[in-house]
Structure 1
Amino acid sequence: MAGGLAALLDDIAVFAKLAAASVDDVGAAAGRASVKAAGVVIDDTAVTPRYVHGFTADRELPVVWRIARGSLRNKLLFILPAALLLSQFVPWLLTPILMVGGTYLAFEGAEKLWEAVSGGHGKAEQELPAAAQGPETEQKMVTSAIRTDFILSAEIMVIALNEVADEPFLSRTLILVVVALAITALVYGVVALIVKMDDIGLRLAQTRNGAVASAGRGLVTAMPKVLSVLSTVGIVAMLWVGGHILLVGVDELGWHAPYELVHHLEEAVHGVAGVGGFLSWLVGTAASALVGVLVGAVVVLVVHQVHRLRHRTAH
């Protein structure tokens, strides 16, 4: 009896060690996958504050929380199962689906750019703070943010999936769940901090003295400008990420010329002493953004023409 109990305890210890090793492996793989998706994570962080801009202080964190919940729902309930099933049974569909998402991002970025340049149909609404436009505007902004997040989250999850494609199905699933939770917490934790920095500055200015109070007043003064800049960065990020998805996608589908051209341009400046790496990144980013602008502009033109035709038909 004692021997049987000892054997059972040994077996439990072995299983515990295996489970611990598996957890370590999942954590390490999730870390590698998250690093690979870091570029899109930065874009996601830059895009989101633009959807919170204009809300009163008491609604900022609730809006961020609603978008974060929507983002997690996107990743865990829709993107993760779909990505796993597609990778298991029809992996060739992942690239075309991502390219559709990239086209949508390019369209949204180009439309915002067009509205900013031409004073389009969104201008009247943007003159009022979002809070002054009522709950319908808040719902519209949250829905728009979650829709944009869906595309960026899909890109993040597919990049992570590609990094762990050789893992067994269960390990892949666990790794992607960890990536989804960690990246959502990181992105929306940073977004919450960004949008509340002015309130933190105000508290410091009111409750502290000397240099700390001055720093608080500086935060209060600077944050509206920072949020405005982030709003612009968010538009650029949509064009950049959308264009990059399309460049990589057409290369994977067999049309190599555009991607190879960008690669050659990156290599041409990579050897510049001291700043070669930065210049290479800048060239690649500019090329992706240019592709995003061109594709997005075509889609905007088509969509606007369709709207005009429908409007004429209705009248």
Structure 2
Amino acid sequence: MASGLLALLDDISALVKVSAASLDDVPTQVAKTTGKVSGIVIDDTAVTPKYVVGLDPSRELSIIWQIAKKSLINKLLILSPAALLLGFFAPWAIQPILMLGGAYLCFEGYEKVHSMFSHHSEEHQENEEMKVITPEELEKERVTSAVRTDIILSAEIMAIAYSQVATSPLVNQIIVMLAVAVFITAAVYGFVGLIVKADDFGVHLAKGNNNATVQNIGRGIVRFMPKFLKILGYVGTAAMLWVGFEIITHGVPFLHHLLENIEHALAGAPILAWLAVVLICLVGGLMLGFIIEKIVVLVRKVFKKQPQEV
């Protein structure tokens, strides 16, 4: 009896050691996953500040908190369980979902590039924003729009996160997925909060009761923030195209091998190799986005014509 109990304790001890060793890999897996989704994180960070532009400055942080809270709930209660269930029951579906999300990112990236060079698109956007609604309605509309965009990017983040831990034990998968969800949401919306309040901080420093040096710093922050937001928008668009097309390449063998061959050919110049891959992904993302945009326009025309024919 005693020997049986000792054997059981030995088994439990061995299991605990294996579990502990397995859990030691969690921080590494979280860091690796975060690096994989960095492009989408940059895009999410670059996109979100626009949703508080033109609203009451005193409501900016509240609006960001609303978006962040819904983003975290979506990641924790919907997207993470969905990824785990798909990985268990239909692992073959993960890659197509990733590619679908990558295609969407390319489409959105192309739309942003197109709008930068299209005066008509700017006029159309201005006309849409001239709708007469109350501040409360505008705030609700902005939050809804932001959450809609975020859930697509979040779905891509969680799908990539799962793909990185698909072969790990279930406990590791759950912990890594939850850790990534919390860390990325906090990082994105914490940084967005700093961005949108930076100009207020600059105005505070520029007040007359501060010394001349502090006032100059404050004025510099106020002047710099619009430029910074514009640059951040460009970076976000580039990241969207780059990451979107790179995700696509993982599901298309000849494209994946092409990028690998380029990296191997330029192995002696890693920076040049990275730039070459990024450039190819940017061009490829633009081309794919262009094709998808034309398909979307064609489909919309078809569906608009159908009611008239009936």
TM bucket, shorter chain: 0.7 to 0.9
Q: Is contact 1:202–1:220 with CA below 8 Å preserved after alignment?
A: yes
Q: What's the secondary structure of 1:48's corresponding residue? A: helix
Against the structure 1 CA distance between its residues 303 and 204, is the aligned structure 2 distance closer, same or farther, given a 3 Å change threshold? same
Q: What are the within-5 Å matches in structure 2 for residues 1-315 of structure 1?
A: 26-121=26-121, 123-126=123-126, 134-206=135-207, 207-250=209-252, 256-271=253-268, 276-315=269-308
Deviation of 1:127 after TM superposition, in Å, equals 7.2
Where do 5+ consecutive residues of structure 2 fail to align? 1-12
Note the aligned Cα RMSD (angstroms): 3.2
Against the structure 1 CA distance between its residues 305 and 36, is the aligned structure 2 distance closer, same or farther, given a 3 Å change threshold? closer
Q: What's the secondary structure of 2:152's corresponding residue? A: helix
Identity of aligned residues (%): 44
Tell me the alpha carbon deviations over residues 91-110 of structure 1, each in whole angstroms, 9 at most, x when there is no partner: 11100011111112222222
Tell me the alpha carbon deviations over residues 36-71 of structure 1, each in whole angstroms, 9 at most, x when there is no partner: 433433333233334444434223222222221222
Against the structure 1 CA distance between its residues 161 and 46, is the aligned structure 2 distance closer, same or farther, given a 3 Å change threshold? same
Against the structure 1 CA distance between its residues 108 and 35, is the aligned structure 2 distance closer, same or farther, given a 3 Å change threshold? closer
The separation in 2 between residues aligned to 1:189 and 1:208, in whole angstroms, is 27
Tell me the alpha carbon deviations over residues 220-256 of structure 1, each in whole angstroms, 9 at most, x when there is no partner: 0110121122223222222222212111222xxxxx2
Deviation of 1:157 after TM superposition, in Å, equals 2.2
The separation in 1 between residues aligned to 2:302 and 2:141, in whole angstroms, is 25
The separation in 1 between residues aligned to 2:290 and 2:137, in whole angstroms, is 28
Equivalent AA in structure 1 for residue 233 of structure 2: S
The separation in 1 between residues aligned to 2:179 and 2:197, in whole angstroms, is 27
Equivalent AA in structure 1 for residue 231 of structure 2: V
Deviation of 1:32 after TM superposition, in Å, equals 4.1
TM-score (norm 2): 0.81
Number of corresponding residues? 294
Q: What's the secondary structure of 1:166's corresponding residue? A: coil
